[in-house]
Amino acid sequence: MADLLEVKRISMLFGGLAAVNDVSFTAGKGEILGLIGPNGAGKTTVFNIVNGFYKPTKGEVLFKERRISGLKPHQVCRLGIARTFQVVKPLQRMSVFDNVLSSAFLRAKGRAEAEGIATDAIAFTGLADDRDVISKGLPLGKRKKLEISRALATQPEFLLLDESFAGLNPHELDESIEIIRNIKARGITVMIIEHHMRVVMSISDRIVVLNYGEKIAEGTPGEIAKDPLVVEAYLGEERSA
Amino acid sequence: MPFVILAILAALPLTGLSSYAMHLVILVVMWSVVGMAWNLLGGYCGQVSFGHAAYFGVGAYTAGILYTKMAISPWWGVPLSIPVVALFSFFLGYIVLRLRGPFFALATLASGEVMRVTAENLVDFTGGTLGIMIQERTWVEKTWYYYIILLVATVTFVLVKKLAESKLGYYFVAIREDQDAAESMGINTTLYKTLALCISGCLTGAAGAFYMNYMGYIDPNVVFALHDISIITIMIVMVGGVATYWGPVVGAVIMVLLAEWIRSIPGLGTAHYTFFGILLIIIIIFLPNGIVGDFPKLKRLLKLQKA
Ligand SMILES: Nc1ncnc2c1ncn2[C@@H]1O[C@H](COP(=O)(O)OP(=O)(O)OP(=O)(O)O)[C@@H](O)[C@H]1O
Ligand SMILES: [Mg+2]
C-alpha cells in the first residue's frame, strides 16, 4: 500500500540559505509521525511546503499519490490536510465557536451541519465551555486548542501540528497528549513538530530529525534516542545555549 | 424594528417636507447605500478601499453614456451598471487584491484617480471635463427619486445582512482577521475577496447611476472625486460603525447633515475637510467602533456627563 504522504527530496532556498535541503520522508495512514530538530532546523518550513504556503525550490510532495506541491493552501486543505500554527493565528474578533464554524463550512452542506461539526470539534478539544468567548481574550493554552479544533473542523485525513504543546503547563500538556491520542483513534494521520522530548517520545510511532535543513535521522523513538547524530545535534544546541 | 423604520421612511414624503429637506434625505439614503457597500468589503472582509469613487463613477458614467450615446433613459443605468461594474471590479480586483494591507489601500486609491484621469481624457466617450448633462429631468418633484433610492437601499441592507450571516460572511470576516489562517482553513481567499469587491462595487455603482439621474449632471471631478466620494465613504462607515448593519446609515445621516451645516457657514470654503479630519481623529480615539459599534460606551459617557 502506498503511503498517505510522500515528501520527495524537497529543498527550500531563501536567498542563499537552504532552510530545507533535500529532505525525503513518508507518513503512513494512521500513524503519528514526529518531526524534531533544534531551533531553525527547518521544521516549520517543511509544514509550509506540505500545506502549500511555499512551493519547494526542488522536489515534490505527494498526497494519496497525487502531486500537491504547487497547489494553494486552500486546495491542499480541501484535499484533506489541515494544520495549526506555531505562532497561533486565532480569528481574534470572533468567538471560539465562530472561529471553528468558519472552517466547518468547508465540508458541510448547510449551516446546521456546519454547526454540528463545530460543536463536535470544540467538545473534542475541551473548549465547549469557552464557546462564546472572543478568541482575543483566550489564554495561550486555549488558543492552542482552538488551533486544533479549527483544523479538525475541516475534517482532515492528515493533520499537521506545529508545536501545539509549547508554553503549556504540565496539566494542559497531559490533556493535549490525550487529545492527540484521540485524534489518532479517529483514524486521522498526525504529524507533530515538538520540542518537548517526553511528549514526542511517548506519542510518536516514528520520528524524523532535521538539523540545519537536512534530515539526519529517522526511526522509532527508541532508535532516535540512541542515534549518535541526534544526540550530538541536541547536545550541540545545549552547549551553545 | 426594521419594518417600523421602513414604514416611517416610506411615509416620509407624505409629511410635506420641503424640497430642500427631501433633497437631504435623498442624499442620506444614497450615501447609506455607498456606505453599506463599502462596509461589506472594508468592514467585513477587511479590505480597506480608498478608491470607491472608481465604482461610483463607473456606475454614474454607465447611466450617462447610455443616455448620450445610445439615447435611452439613464434610468436603465441603475440595473445595467451592475453587470458593467461587476466586470470592471473583476478586472480591478484581479490587480489590487494581490496586495495586502497598506499596499492594497494605496492601489485602490490610485485606481480611483486613474479612473478620473481616464474619464477626463476619453473626451469622445465621456465628454471629458465638460461632463454629461441630462437635458430633461424625469421628475421635478423629489418623491419618486426618493422611493427609487429607498428601494435600492432596502435591497442593499437586506443583502448585506443576509450575506454577513451566511457562510460568505464568516469567510469574509475570517479573511479580515487572518488571511493565512483563512487559507489553511480551506478558504479560497482570492475568490472570496473578489466576490466581496464585486458585490461592493456593484452596489456602489448602482448608487452612482442613481446619482446621474438625480443630479442630472456629472463630470470626472464630481463622480471620481477622491475627497468627496472615496474619503467621505470611509468616514461615513468609520463614524457610524465598521462591520455593523446600521453604522453606515447613521454615518450617512451625520456626514450629510454636517457637510450641509458646514457649507452654510460663510467664508469657510473647502475648510470643511479640516472639520471632517478632526471628526475622524476624535472618532478613532474615543469611539473606534463608531457610533453604532460603541453605542453602549457612548451611553455610559453621556450618563457620566449628566451625573
Ligand atoms: N520566509 C522566510 N524567509 C527567509 N528565511 C526564512 C523564512 N522562513 C524560514 N526562514 C529561515 O529558515 C530557517 C528554518 O526556519 P523554520 O521556521 O523552518 O525553523 P524551525 O525548525 O521551525 O525552528 P523553530 O524550532 O524555531 O520553530 C531559519 O533559519 C529561518 O530563519
Ligand atoms: Mg518552527
Q: What is the pTM of this model?
A: 0.93
Q: Is the ipTM of this complex over 0.90?
A: yes
What span, in angstroms and rounded, lies between the C-alpha atoms of A74 and B186? Answer: 4
Is the pLDDT at A196 greater than 70, yes or no? yes
What average pLDDT does this structure show over A189-207?
92
What average pLDDT does this structure show over A112-129?
96
Place of cell 455610559: B300
Is the pLDDT at A133 greater than 90, yes or no? yes
| β-bridge partners, A215 | A210
> Are the beta carbons of A74 and B188 separated by less than 8 Å?
yes
What average pLDDT does this structure show over B104-120?
94
What average pLDDT does this structure show over B3-25?
87
Type and span of the H or E element at A91: none
Interior/surface letters A99-118, b for 16+ CB within 10 angstroms, e for the rest: bbbbbbbbbbeeeeebbebb
Q: Determine how β-strand B132-133 pairs with β-strand B217-218.
A: antiparallel
Confidence of residue A241 (pLDDT cuts 50, 70, 90): very low
A44 Cα to the center of ligand 2, angstroms: 4
Q: What is the pLDDT of residue B301?
A: 82
Confidence of residue B88 (pLDDT cuts 50, 70, 90): very high
Ordered by start, the domain boundaries in chain B are 2-226
Confidence of residue A237 (pLDDT cuts 50, 70, 90): low
What average pLDDT does this structure show over A67-91?
96
Confidence of residue A236 (pLDDT cuts 50, 70, 90): low
The pLDDT tens digits for A10-28 are 999 999 899 999 999 999 9
Is the pLDDT at B236 greater than 90, yes or no? yes
Residues from chain B that touch A106, judged by Cβ atoms under 8 A, are 185-187
Higher pLDDT, B2 or B43: B43
Q: What is the pLDDT of residue A1?
A: 52
Q: How many CA atoms lie within 13 A of A10 on its CB side?
A: 30
Confidence of residue B307 (pLDDT cuts 50, 70, 90): low
- Across the interface, of A72, A114, A150, the residue whose CB is closest to B185 is A150
The pLDDT tens digits for B35-77 are 999 999 999 999 999 999 999 999 999 999 999 888 888 899 9
> Are the beta carbons of A73 and B171 separated by less than 8 Å?
no
B168 Cα to the center of ligand 1, angstroms: 34
What average pLDDT does this structure show over B194-201?
97
What average pLDDT does this structure show over B282-307?
84
Q: What is the pLDDT of residue A195?
A: 87
The per-residue pLDDT of chain B, averaged, comes to 91
Confidence of residue B181 (pLDDT cuts 50, 70, 90): very high
Higher pLDDT, B292 or B138: B292
Of the bound ligands, which one is closest to the alpha carbon of residue A195?
1
What span, in angstroms and rounded, lies between the C-alpha atoms of B277 and B209? Answer: 28
> Are the beta carbons of B189 and A74 separated by less than 8 Å?
yes
A45 Cα to the center of ligand 1, angstroms: 6
CB A145 within 8 A of CB A100: no
Higher pLDDT, A209 or A198: A209
What the block records as the C-alpha cell of B191 is 475568490
What span, in angstroms and rounded, lies between the C-alpha atoms of A104 and A113? Answer: 8
What average pLDDT does this structure show over A225-231?
87
What span, in angstroms and rounded, lies between the C-alpha atoms of A66 and A33? Answer: 20
Of the bound ligands, which one is closest to the alpha carbon of residue A46?
1
What average pLDDT does this structure show over A185-211?
93
Quick one: what percent of chain A has pLDDT higher than 70? Answer: 96
Size of interface A-B (CB pairs under 8 A): 74
Q: Determine how β-strand A189-193 pairs with β-strand A32-36.
A: parallel
Confidence of residue A94 (pLDDT cuts 50, 70, 90): very high
A15 φ/ψ angles, rounded to the nearest 5 degrees: 60, -125
Q: Which residue of B has its CA nearest to A85?
A: B181
Q: Which residue of A has its CA nearest to B185?
A: A103
- Across the interface, of A83, A102, A154, the residue whose CB is closest to B170 is A102
